[in-house]
Homo-oligomer: A and B are copies of this chain.
Amino acid sequence: MGELVFVGLGLGAGDVSIRAIDLLRGCERVFAEFYTSMMIDAPIADLEERIGCRIELLRRRDVEESDTVIDAARRSKIAFLTAGDPMAATTHVEMRLRAEREGVGTAIVHGISIFSACASALGLQPYKFGRTVTLPIPEKGHFPRSPYDHMLDNFQRGLHTLILLDIREEEGRYMTCAEGIEWLLEAERKYEGGLITEDRLLCGAARVGAPTQKLVAGYPSDIMTEEMGPPLHTLVLPGRLHFMEAEALVSFAEAPKSIIPISD
């Protein structure tokens, strides 16, 4: 009997868990996709060395339009590797459901995810995040309003927003913090909710969890001009800051000291 195990590798090469390594040793074939997200500072060869087995890299069409992985899993134990946590992308949930419908058993090995690590790196309280948004790389004639509305809704309730940035792996394009800020400013010009003002505090995070991680908190113009380095980048729009969260942003993300409320 075969089995398909979805394995999350976390954000960078060192994030892989003991459970994942143990499991991969017992797999017949190991597939991976890095188009929904990518690993920080981890070329495939390094990753193969880390996890001790050869990786068959899949492109989008291999995952979405063919049954390569599920077919292989009918006969033997197969791992399907992804960055982050393996079920964050809808396409993986879809693949898991398809496998189960076809009688192939599945399992998950969780990985460190940007959904929790980004808050943690910045010292923001994870329970105070509202819904997450993703900013799309702008295309002519297509500028969806919903990310702006969701951020505004979170903000009005005092909640933080994790702002994921678009990835087009096929084109080698990974949206940067600066491009994200440009998107936000454009959205403000269009929808005028008073959300992205010049004195609105935002956070930029690059390569979260990696030794080369860079965090910055400041006003839109600060983040636009900051050199954040290679991908992946993420933004956060903080809502109402607890005193300790403000202190954390000053200590760990170079936020201006003026964001800390004056205490008695």
Contact = CB atoms under 8 A, between A and B. Distances in A.
Interface in A236-252: 244-245, 247-248, 251
B120 A126 contact: no
Oligomer copy total: 2
A173 interface: no
A44 interface: no
Most buried by B among A125, A130, A131, A244: A131
B123 A96 contact: yes
Interface in A1-42: 8, 10-19, 21-22
Interface size class of A (residues with CB under 8 A): 35 or more
A208 B249 CA distance: 31
Most buried by B among A110, A119, A132: A110
A88 B15 contact: no
Contacts of A121: 87, 108, 110
Interface of A: 8, 10-19, 21-22, 50, 85-88, 90, 93-94, 96-97, 100, 108-113, 115-117, 119-121, 123, 125-134, 153, 157, 159, 164, 208-209, 244-245, 247-248, 251
